[in-house]
């Protein structure tokens, strides 16, 4: 993945951008999904104007701290989602949950797809701390929390594949090729529990997708999202600190440059 | 092969507030005592440098993994219960210090009325005021009797507070002055005062200054870092057992702590009604041990206390069909009917809501207990109305948007960024009652990792829950209006219990009282049927009070510790005299 950065028109674009995303997923390089996917991305919510906006945001990110990994090389890669077309659909869906706008970057630029990939790969993705003994009755109740036999990683994979299939069924196109508002229609159908998905309720998949996307936007950059702490900058969250004994009674809102967990721990070793 | 260990005077199961207090008091009294903790030997160092919302608030780092053991849950007695599978739906404390390590610190005493709720409700409103479905009971102890134990716990824990103008006058001030007042707290206090209510700063298990407790344990002034609830304190600034009773116990050679010791049975001599000790598994090696003791103290979370009695065939299991039996009866707690209120959105105010402390907050108790006339109300009891400034990190703050937008998409993003620090929540900590149809027993289907049945919760709202919740929402709405919010959203009252056990306020099942027909333990939390078995903790609450439970659990643990010491010193026997009036609904 490091090599791919060097091919970026000679630009030192250190922030994770949509362009990097297209490269790392292999879409821009003419991967197996070919031009349809590429067309889908370029025709979808980012015009070239917004792309130059991101470049500007990226410059701001570089000067603002350097604790969140903005100067680190980009190592993000998929270790859970095998099929790049699934990952591209996941990314497109996450971007609809948390879109790029005037406030700042969206899910893709913040690294959220890779955050989700890492989460799926780990203990949480395999429900390692959950009760997993049967009998399983995934559809028996809508008020008993998660009852699926599938683990979270499997729910993501099968849910995304069903979402892609549903897009073709209903709109005759791959999810990533749909206009943003049509993608929203697909997501809303899942959200409303209207789509049949084997082993789970469609709203269970949607809430997993929604919540994990937001976690990727706002959790510490160490987990792979919230790239350069841009999520925290947008929401003016300063990150972990020893405390705010001196500011706690302040009448004014206290704005600070964010610091990451790595900075808080002192890094090193 | 089970290895039988040497007998000790007392074995204490669970090392949270309840078990930690009993262990420390027994250790100080020179008793030979072993403390068994299922989780790991956590230390302060486990909480330093790890302030991380995702890990603690969203992945529940210091909660009990449910892989091997959870509860099953249902609403109706003829339903099939399903297991509560994820930690998002079932947050139980684990490791040394238990749930008390991740508690926020809200430290209210219960009210004189609440300890005698049945008698006083009948005195004031007549017997008809008590609904048919409710097992409303006195606690078998009065506020006046419990007060010295409250004081002892507050001194040990170093609670920071001020006199609540409506509460009984304290014998002496709280051990520490209240925490700092922030603009959001001041707004709440001014508004409630304008409405003729009586605001005060919530008593907090967060140190307002450096403090040394009566046992010589030193705590530090809180830094308002916001990593309190669901996290462990990195600074010995929270009233938790790791900062107080556990080091006190550990200072004594006659106390031995064993962690990763998962107790699976109380060893019980049925013929002599005597506990012999406990059987536990060493979760590191898988070896089984028997620890004999003169006195067995169960001091785990209410779920575990109940389940251990059931698995060990001690006492009679409650049966809702016959309404006979005491173990599992009067299961209660603050389920999803409590903590309802309103959310206010402010166009021109921005508060430093990312800063805070677990129990930093203001409250009024004008609608607590029987502080207001219930003659024309369709419920009993009350609660505090609170505003809390816990300190919220980014994922949490991103939920601050109105219902006008969904929780995703461009509008969501714009609105949640706008209101991240401009939304305040207030809520009603309403009382929660016990009913004949709510109880605990063993699940017929689902098993733990050793093949033992899981605990089954049968719980649905009774006649009190929805009316009191709606009353709270209405009062909160009035206060939020006075606070000047531009948009006010009322919480919707749930139709039914939703099988989410996220608040930790689940109690009862082995309840205390002065009548063995309606209580399993006396007011020393000693079992009526088994003299040398004490069941300590929230499991003893006949119904929930209108506030957070910890101080009452702490006070009762001090009372129980005194009982255990007396039992050992005076060669056994019942410490309390049963009264034979039967109060079953």
Beta carbons of B54 and A215 less than 8 Å apart:
yes
Token look-up 């001194």 returns B155
d(CA B17, CA A173): 59
CB neighbour class for B37 (10 Å; exposed up to 12, middle 13-18, buried from 19): buried
Chain A nearest C-alpha distance from B475 (Å): 27
3-state secondary structure labels for all residues of B101-125: HCCCCECCCCCHHHHCHHHHHHHHH
- Nearest residue of A to residue B68, measured between CA atoms: A131
Which pLDDT score is estimated for B68? Answer: 94
Chain B nearest C-alpha distance from A265 (Å): 5
Q: Look at residues B71, B17, B14, B64 and name the one whose alpha carbon lies nearest to residue B331.
A: B71
d(CA B559, CA B549): 16
**How many angstroms separate the Cα of B357 from the Cα of each of A192, B99, B385, B524?**
38, 17, 18, 33
d(CA B560, CA B297): 9
Over residues A57-78, mean pLDDT: 51
- Nearest residue of A to residue B390, measured between CA atoms: A248
Beta carbons of B225 and A247 less than 8 Å apart:
no
Architecture of domain B2-569: 3-Layer(bba) Sandwich (3.50)
Write the pLDDT tens digit of every residue in A178-231.
Answer: 999 999 999 999 999 999 999 999 999 999 999 999 999 999 999 999 999 999
> In the predicted model, is pLDDT for residue A59 greater than 90?
no
Which pLDDT score is estimated for A37? Answer: 39
Which pLDDT score is estimated for B579? Answer: 87
Which pLDDT score is estimated for B41? Answer: 97
- Structural Rg of chain B based on CA atoms: 23
Residues 123-142 of A with CB under 8 A from B: 124, 127-133, 135, 137, 140-141
Q: Look at residues B266, B259, B107 and name the one whose alpha carbon lies nearest to residue B178.
A: B107
- pLDDT tens series, chain B, 585 aa: 899 999 999 999 999 999 999 999 999 999 999 999 999 999 999 999 999 999 999 999 999 999 999 999 999 999 999 999 999 999 999 999 999 999 999 999 999 999 999 999 999 999 999 999 999 999 999 999 999 999 999 999 999 999 999 999 999 999 999 999 999 999 999 999 999 999 999 999 999 999 999 999 999 999 999 999 999 999 999 999 999 999 999 999 999 999 999 999 999 999 999 999 999 999 999 999 999 999 999 999 999 999 999 999 999 999 999 999 999 999 999 999 999 999 999 999 999 999 999 999 999 999 999 999 999 999 999 999 999 999 999 999 999 999 999 999 999 999 999 999 999 999 999 999 999 999 999 999 999 999 999 999 999 999 999 999 999 999 999 999 999 999 999 999 999 999 999 989 999 999 999 999 999 999 999 999 999 999 999 999 999 999 999 999 999 999 999 999 999 999 899 999 998 655 444
| pTM across the whole model | 0.91
What is the span of the domain harbouring residue A204? Answer: 2-265
B235 interaction partners in chain A (CB closer than 8 Å): 243
- In this structure, are residues A86 and A161 in contact, taking their beta carbons and an 8 Å threshold? yes
> In the predicted model, is pLDDT for residue A68 greater than 60?
no
**How many angstroms separate the Cα of B531 from the Cα of each of B447, B563, B564?**
31, 11, 10
Query: Quick check: helix, strand or coil at residue B317?
Result: strand
Beta carbons of B52 and A220 less than 8 Å apart:
yes
Q: Look at residues A194, B406, A207 and name the one whose alpha carbon lies nearest to residue A186.
A: A194
Q: What is the mean pLDDT of chain A?
A: 81
Q: How many domains does chain A have?
A: 1
CB neighbour class for B445 (10 Å; exposed up to 12, middle 13-18, buried from 19): middle
CB neighbour class for A153 (10 Å; exposed up to 12, middle 13-18, buried from 19): buried
Q: Look at residues A228, A175, A207 and name the one whose alpha carbon lies nearest to residue A61.
A: A228
**How many angstroms separate the Cα of A214 from the Cα of each of A104, A145, B447, B500?**
15, 19, 35, 22
Alpha carbon of residue A143 to chain centroid: 27
Read off the pLDDT band of A57 (50, 70, 90): very low
Contact pairs from chain A to chain B, CB under 8 Å: 166
Chain B nearest C-alpha distance from A219 (Å): 6
Which pLDDT score is estimated for A254? Answer: 97
Residues 12-51 of B with CB under 8 A from A: 49-51
Read off the pLDDT band of A28 (50, 70, 90): very low
Percent of chain A whose pLDDT exceeds 90: 69
Per-residue burial over B514-547, b if 16 or more Cβ lie within 10 Å, else e, is bbbebbbbbbbbbbbebbbbbbbbbbbbbbbbbb
- Nearest residue of A to residue B207, measured between CA atoms: A245
Six-digit token string for B164: 């609540």
A243 touches chain B (CB under 8 A): yes
Beta carbons of B180 and A132 less than 8 Å apart:
no
Query: Quick check: helix, strand or coil at residue B13?
Result: strand
d(CA B136, CA B380): 10
Read off the pLDDT band of A73 (50, 70, 90): low
- Nearest residue of A to residue B71, measured between CA atoms: A131
* A58 backbone dihedrals φ, ψ, rounded to 5°: -60, -40
d(CA A96, CA A154): 21
Residues 408-437 of B with CB under 8 A from A: 408-410, 413-414, 416-417, 420-421
Which pLDDT score is estimated for A46? Answer: 34
Token look-up 């733990």 returns B448
Q: Look at residues B113, B143, B116 and name the one whose alpha carbon lies nearest to residue B583.
A: B116
d(CA A26, CA B256): 60
CB neighbour class for B465 (10 Å; exposed up to 12, middle 13-18, buried from 19): buried
Specify whether B505 is catalytic: yes
Which residues are CB-neighbours of B260 under 8 A, at least 6 positions away? B37, B38, B39, B40, B41, B282, B283, B284
Over residues A83-105, mean pLDDT: 98
Peptide bond into A135 cis (omega under 30): yes
Residues 66-85 of B with CB under 8 A from A: 66-67, 69-70, 73, 80, 82-85
Token look-up 């669970």 returns B14
Which pLDDT score is estimated for A156? Answer: 98
- In this structure, are residues B62 and B6 in contact, taking their beta carbons and an 8 Å threshold? no
Give the best residue of A102, A124, A155, A248 to mutate against chain B (max B CB count within 10 A).
Answer: A248
* B36 backbone dihedrals φ, ψ, rounded to 5°: -110, 125
> In the predicted model, is pLDDT for residue A4 greater than 90?
no
Residues 145-174 of A with CB under 8 A from B: 145-147
* Count of helix runs (H) and strand runs (E) in chain B: 12, 22
Which residues are CB-neighbours of B547 under 8 A, at least 6 positions away? B106, B108, B109, B110, B368, B383, B384, B429
* B508 backbone dihedrals φ, ψ, rounded to 5°: 90, -175
User: For A154-158, which contacts have Cβ atoms below 8 Å and span 24 or more sequence positions?
Assistant: A155/A199, A155/A200, A155/A204, A155/A205, A155/A208, A156/A81, A156/A90, A156/A116, A156/A120, A156/A125, A156/A205, A156/A208, A156/A209, A156/A212, A157/A81, A157/A86, A157/A120, A158/A197, A158/A198, A158/A199, A158/A200, A158/A205
B447 touches chain A (CB under 8 A): yes
Greater confidence, A139 or B7?
B7
d(CA B396, CA B414): 16
**How many angstroms separate the Cα of B320 from the Cα of each of B76, B133, B454, B496?**
11, 12, 19, 19
């Amino acid at each position: 993945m490091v090599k791919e950065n060097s091919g970026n028109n000679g630009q030192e674009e250190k922030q994770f951008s949509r362009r990097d995303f297209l490269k790392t997923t292999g879409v821009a390089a003419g991967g197996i999904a070919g031009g349809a996917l590429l067309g889908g991305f370029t025709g979808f919510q980012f015009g070239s104007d917004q792309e130059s906006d991101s470049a500007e945001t990226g410059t701001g990110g570089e000067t603002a701290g350097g604790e969140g990994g903005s100067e680190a090389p980009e190592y993000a890669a998929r270790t859970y989602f095998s099929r790049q077309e699934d990952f591209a659909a996941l990314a497109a869906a996450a971007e609809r949950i948390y879109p790029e706008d005037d406030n700042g970057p969206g899910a893709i630029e913040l690294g959220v797809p890779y955050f989700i990939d890492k989460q799926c790969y780990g203990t949480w993705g395999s429900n390692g701390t959950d009760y997993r003994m049967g009998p399983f009755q995934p559809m028996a109740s809508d008020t008993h929390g998660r009852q699926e036999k599938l683990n979270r990683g499997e729910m993501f994979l099968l849910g995304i594949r069903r979402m892609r299939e549903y897009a073709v069924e209903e709109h005759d196109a791959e999810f990533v090729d749909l206009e943003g508002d049509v993608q929203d229609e697909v997501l809303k159908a899942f959200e409303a529990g209207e789509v049949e998905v084997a082993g789970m309720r469609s709203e269970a998949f949607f809430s997993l997708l929604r919540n994990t996307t937001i976690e990727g936007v706002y959790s510490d950059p160490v987990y792979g999202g919230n790239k350069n702490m841009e999520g925290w900058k947008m929401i003016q969250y300063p990150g972990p600190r020893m405390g705010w004994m001196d500011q706690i009674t302040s009448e004014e809102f206290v704005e600070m440059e964010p610091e990451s967990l790595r900075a808080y721990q002192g890094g090193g070793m | 092969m089970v290895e039988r260990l040497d007998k000790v005077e007392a074995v204490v199961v669970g090392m949270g507030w309840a078990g930690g207090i009993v262990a420390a008091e027994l250790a100080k009294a020179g008793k030979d005592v072993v403390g068994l903790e299922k989780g790991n030997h956590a230390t302060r160092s486990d909480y330093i440098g790890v302030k991380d919302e995702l890990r603690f608030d969203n992945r529940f780092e210091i909660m009990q993994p449910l892989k091997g053991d959870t509860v099953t849950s249902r609403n109706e007695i003829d339903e099939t219960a399903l297991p509560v599978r994820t930690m998002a739906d079932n947050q139980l404390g684990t490791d040394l210090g238990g749930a008390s390590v991740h508690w926020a610190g809200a430290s209210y005493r219960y009210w004189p009325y609440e300890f005698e709720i049945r008698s006083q409700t009948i005195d004031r409103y007549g017997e008809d005021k008590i609904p048919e479905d409710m097992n409303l009971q006195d606690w078998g102890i009065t506020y006046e009797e419990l007060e010295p134990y409250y004081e002892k716990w507050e001194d040990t824990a170093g609670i920071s507070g001020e006199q609540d103008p409506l509460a009984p006058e304290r014998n002496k001030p709280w051990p520490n002055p209240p925490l700092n007042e922030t603009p959001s707290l001041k707004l709440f206090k001014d508004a409630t005062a304008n409405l003729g209510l009586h605001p005060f700063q919530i008593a907090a298990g967060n140190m307002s200054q450096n403090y040394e407790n009566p046992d010589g344990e030193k705590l530090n002034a809180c830094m308002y870092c916001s990593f309190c609830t669901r996290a462990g304190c990195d600074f010995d600034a929270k009233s938790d057992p790791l900062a107080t009773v556990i080091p006190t116990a550990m200072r004594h050679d006659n106390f031995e702590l064993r962690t990763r010791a998962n107790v699976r049975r109380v060893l019980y001599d049925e013929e002599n009604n005597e506990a012999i000790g406990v059987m536990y598994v060493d979760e590191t090696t898988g070896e089984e041990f028997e620890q004999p003791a003169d006195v067995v103290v169960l001091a785990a979370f209410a779920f575990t206390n109940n389940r251990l009695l059931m698995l060990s065939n001690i006492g009679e299991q409650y049966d809702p069909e016959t309404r006979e039996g005491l173990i599992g009866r009067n299961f209660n707690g603050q389920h999803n009917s409590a903590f309802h209120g309103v959310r206010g959105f402010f166009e021109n105010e921005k508060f430093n809501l990312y800063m805070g402390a677990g129990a930093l907050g203001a409250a009024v108790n004008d609608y607590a207990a029987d502080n207001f006339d219930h003659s024309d109300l369709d419920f009993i009891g009350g609660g505090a109305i609170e505003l809390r400034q816990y300190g919220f990190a980014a994922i949490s703050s991103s939920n601050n948007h109105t219902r006008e937008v969904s929780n995703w998409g461009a509008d969501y993003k714009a609105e949640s960024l706008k209101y991240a620090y401009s939304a305040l929540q207030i809520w009603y900590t309403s009382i929660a009652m016990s009913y004949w149809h709510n109880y605990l027993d063993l699940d017929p289907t689902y098993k733990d990792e050793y093949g033992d049945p899981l605990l089954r919760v049968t719980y649905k709202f009774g006649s009190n829950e929805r009316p009191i919740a709606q009353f709270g929402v209405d009062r909160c709405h009035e206060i939020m209006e006075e606070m000047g919010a531009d948009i006010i959203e009322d919480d919707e009252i749930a139709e039914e219990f939703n099988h989410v056990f996220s608040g930790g306020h689940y109690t009862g099942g082995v309840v205390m009282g002065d009548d063995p027909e309606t209580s399993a333990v006396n007011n020393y939390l000693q079992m009526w049927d088994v003299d040398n078995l004490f069941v300590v903790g929230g499991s003893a609450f006949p119904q929930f009070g209108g506030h957070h439970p910890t101080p009452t659990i702490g006070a009762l643990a001090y009372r129980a510790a005194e009982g255990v010491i007396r039992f050992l010193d005076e060669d056994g026997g019942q410490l309390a005299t049963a009264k034979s009036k039967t109060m079953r609904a």
